[in-house]
Structure 1
Amino acid sequence: MVGLADVVVLYSGGKDSNYALYWAIKSGFNVRYLVSMVSENEESYMYHTPNIELTDLQAKSLGIPIIKGFTRGEKEEEVEDLKKVLESLKIEGIVAGALASRYQKDRIEKVARELGLRVYAPAWGRDPEEYMRDIVHLGFEVIFVGVSAYGLDETWLGRRIDEKVIEDLIELKNKFGIHVAGEGGEFETFVLDMPLFKYKIVIDKAEKIWDPYTNSGRLIIKEAHLERK
């Protein structure tokens, strides 16, 4: 890490990208930009989609400039769309929140090689249970905004991650084999507060959308504001 200053953080607004950002700043990197990819495809292979528009509010709370890229979400093409965003930036590295998805990590590393950048994935390979507890102990306020797995029903939408939730996820892992940190696509998250936020995000209006046939749903945050901590 010595000598590397200017990086971007691939930023979705969820727990993993916020943890990656936290790690980067605490490690002494100069985070020049947050980069959020907005996909037209809700089933994107690469990018988190629930409430991605609210990364603007998070960036304002952080005081870090945000750059948004847009993609149709077509497999492999969405990777090239990320490359187009990054190639115009004066940076030396990319920080990503990948934890166990080889698909995502391989493609980010491919883009980085082509652009002559380094990749940092601070959560990669970590024990999921330890990682989730770390997020709670660091003071992250994280809610579920998408669920898609046996054992995760409509009541999980909007639920905050705490020690009880982690224990419940471990139980579901033992019963259904889900990934405790959601890296298998079982759930998506949104961060309302964390140590680097200057303001916390308060939800004013939200709607749960639930499909009983696929046992999946989303919490759509329709209105939110920043509140001084």
Structure 2
Amino acid sequence: MVRKVWVSHSGGKDSMLALHRMMNQSDIEVVGLLTTITEGFERSTTHGIREELIDLQAELLGLPIHKVFLPKDPSNENYNLRIFDAYQKARDEGVSHIVFGDILLKDVRDYREQQVQESGLEAIFPLWGESTDDLIHEFTGLGYETIITTIDPKTVPITFLGEKITTDLLEALPENVDVCGENGEFHTFVVGGPLFERPLPYEVSEQTHEGPYYTYIDLVRSETT
């Protein structure tokens, strides 16, 4: 029996690898992506990617994207209600599972599983418990092109912002930084790879933005590509 799934999708490397694995599984049909957007900011939550790039990425992946719009600082109750509404929509469309790219953080997994199960769905964690070193090399080996868009400046030097993830870059990361950024050290955006119809046209802005915890660099759609 084929299971219909939505993939919880930030546009970054972990959710992309989870999507890649699901797309290559015969008993899974990926019928949509699910992302969160900050209201009034028009950017993805946490990663800070422009909404138009999230839309374009989904288009190039050939998948519909479903958005949960959140206020800038949502309460837990507000967040849960809006996510629950999205899960109910998924269920109404015949979806049985939500796929997540989490790897190691058990409290995050437990929270997601509770939300999904309360909506009458099930969760899948295709990367769970695997070595982050193995996962990042699997991902780069598949040919995905990924940009570091967000860093925690307490752990990652600002010079890594806007850089492509390569073997050389991974070796240059500080020793205490997980190569998948699993502890929140950095976040990414994927701009090309085997699931893409064609590479996503983008430019890296020279301007950075300081948040309370993270530093961001802006990616914009390239009009010349």
> What range is the shorter-chain TM-score in?
0.7 to 0.9
CA contact 1:207–1:221 (8 Å) conserved in 2? no
Equivalent residue for 2:137, pick from 128, 133, 138: 133
Partner of 1:122, secondary structure, is coil
Q: Specify every segment of 5 or more residues in structure 1 that has no aligned partner in the other structure, as ranges.
A: none
Q: Distance in 2 between matches of 1:27 and 1:226?
A: 36
Cα offset for 1:149? 4.0
Partner of 1:112, secondary structure, is helix
> Could you tell me which amino acid in structure 1 is paired with residue 82 of structure 2?
D
Q: Distance in 1 between matches of 2:187 and 2:145?
A: 14
Over 3 Å counting, the alpha-carbon distance change for 1:32 and 1:215 in structure 2 is closer
Q: Distance in 2 between matches of 1:122 and 1:225?
A: 36
CA contact 2:68–2:86 (8 Å) conserved in 1? yes
2:197: which partner in 1? Answer: 198
Across the two proteins, how many residue pairs are aligned to each other? Answer: 216
TM-score (norm 1): 0.84
Partner of 1:111, secondary structure, is helix
Q: 1:34 and 2:24 equivalent?
A: no
Equivalent pairs: percent with the same residue? 28
Q: After TM superposition, what 4+ stretches of structure 1 lie above 4 angstroms from structure 2?
A: 213-216
Cα offset for 1:48? 3.3
Q: Distance in 1 between matches of 2:113 and 2:224?
A: 34
Equivalent residue for 2:161, pick from 157, 160, 175: 157
TM-score (norm 2): 0.86
Cα offset for 1:40? 4.9
> Could you tell me which amino acid in structure 2 is paired with residue 6 of structure 1?
K
1:23: which partner in 2? Answer: 21
Q: 1:6 and 2:4 equivalent?
A: yes
Q: 1:49 and 2:47 equivalent?
A: yes
User: Which digits, 9 at most, give the CA deviation of each residue in 1:13-67, with x for residues without a partner?
Assistant: 110111111111111311111111113599xxxx533205121011110111111
CA contact 1:4–1:92 (8 Å) conserved in 2? no
